[in-house]
Amino acid sequence: MSDLLKRHRAVMPNWVALYYDEPLEIVGGKGCRVQDAQGNSYLDFFAGILTNMLGYDVPEVQEAVNRQLRSGVVHTSTLYLIRSQVELAEKIAALSGIDNPKVFFTNSGTEANETALLLATHARGSDQVLAMRNSYHGRSYAATAVTGNRSWKNSSLSPLNVHYLHGTDRDRFPGMSDEEYARFCVEDLTSVLDSATAGRVACLIIEPVQGVGGFTAVPDGLIGEFKKTLDERGILLISDEVQTGWGRTGETFWGIQAHGVTPDAMTFAKGLGNGFAIGGVVARGELLDALPANGISTFGGNPLSTAAAHATLDYLLSHDLQAHAHRLGTRM
């Protein structure tokens, strides 16, 4: 066992998992390859949990970050105007497809999902939330509550009242056709709403493609069918795009768009910063404006992370990486 691994286990919680019997210390990277402390080179298929979206050592991102560092301003809170934050929010709002959108920045996808759940439960005056089986939405108190994956569910004590739906467990129903399974899932949603809830549900939070859940996609069009039922009852739809945003699914810029649906809110994080900590929510303006108390973010959307994110998004769009993902995904 290496000295660094011994020190890690002495001071880090046991539930902070490490890959491999002999965990790697990554000390360098360029493009799609990384190097460990022993000088070995690896092709990186994981990208820092899908975060280094452009790869490593990207000059455009480095220059944007260095330019911000040279200004001497690494951090100011949201109590001050941050030009790169406003410009990034404008671009994300325009790309969202949501009517009259506004954006709130956080440091992670977990925080983004917390914020979206806060918006929905406040708007509906309800603590009842729908989520999907096998889902993963983060490791915080509320995000764990809407996580439907036992391997990542450390607590059942959240005050949220959560009901889990079918739609991402297709492999459990091998005798059904896709059409039969989709009908079953819609009937399940209606049954849950009619029999298992108190009648006023805040939202459904859903990953268009589950990452932790095994890269499992709901059947084509199912979210659209869900949305019809949700709209009939005033229930909001949150699309967790932490792993599926930014054109990574190839066919559409946001994963939810493959279902022909515009959600009330989308959460994002991971790839946007290409390694810098940033996340956020883009939602209908009236949802984000409705919170009655003061709310700031000390680090969310700070000058350094938004400079990196702005450069990452510009690179992604100017190099049409969505089309690249679509070509390679089709080939694979």
Which tokens is 332 given?
């694979």
For domain 85-331, which architecture applies? Answer: 3-Layer(aba) Sandwich (3.40)
Residues 26-36 have a mean pLDDT of: 95
Q: Please say whether the dihedral angle defined by the alpha carbons of residues 70, 75, 80 and 84, taken in this order, is positive or negative.
A: positive
Q: Is residue 1 very low, low, confident or very high in pLDDT (cuts 50, 70, 90)?
A: low
Q: Two tokens at 89?
A: 């929010």
Q: What is the pTM of this model?
A: 0.95
The yes-or-no verdict on residue 69 having pLDDT over 80 is: yes
At residue 156 the predicted structure's pLDDT band, cuts being 50, 70 and 90, is confident
> Picking from 21-25, 75-79, 148-152, 306-310, which range would have the lowest pLDDT averaged per residue?
148-152
Residue-wise pLDDT for 244-267, tens only, equals: 999 999 999 999 999 999 999 999
CA distance 123 to 111: 18
Whether residue 217 has pLDDT greater than 90: no
Q: Are 130 and 203 in contact (CB under 8 A)?
A: yes
Model confidence at 5, pLDDT cuts 50, 70, 90, reads very high
Three-state SS annotation for 102-117: EEEEECCHHHHHHHHH
Residues forming beta bridges with residue 76, ordered by sequence position: none
Cα separation, 136 vs 118, in Å, equals 17
More confident site: 326 or 47: 326
Per DSSP bridges, beta strands 236-240 and 203-206 are parallel
Q: For tokens 């095994």, what's the residue?
A: 214
Q: pLDDT of 166-195, one tens digit each?
A: 999 988 899 899 889 999 999 999 999 999
pLDDT of res. 241: 97
Q: Which residues contact 46 (CB under 8 A, 6 or more apart)?
A: none
28 strand-pairing partners? 35
Where in the chain are all domains bearing CATH 3.40.640.10? 85-331
- For 269-322, the pLDDT digits (tens) are 999 999 999 999 999 999 999 999 998 999 999 999 999 999 999 999 999 999
For 109-128, write each residue's pLDDT tens digit: 999 999 999 999 999 999 99
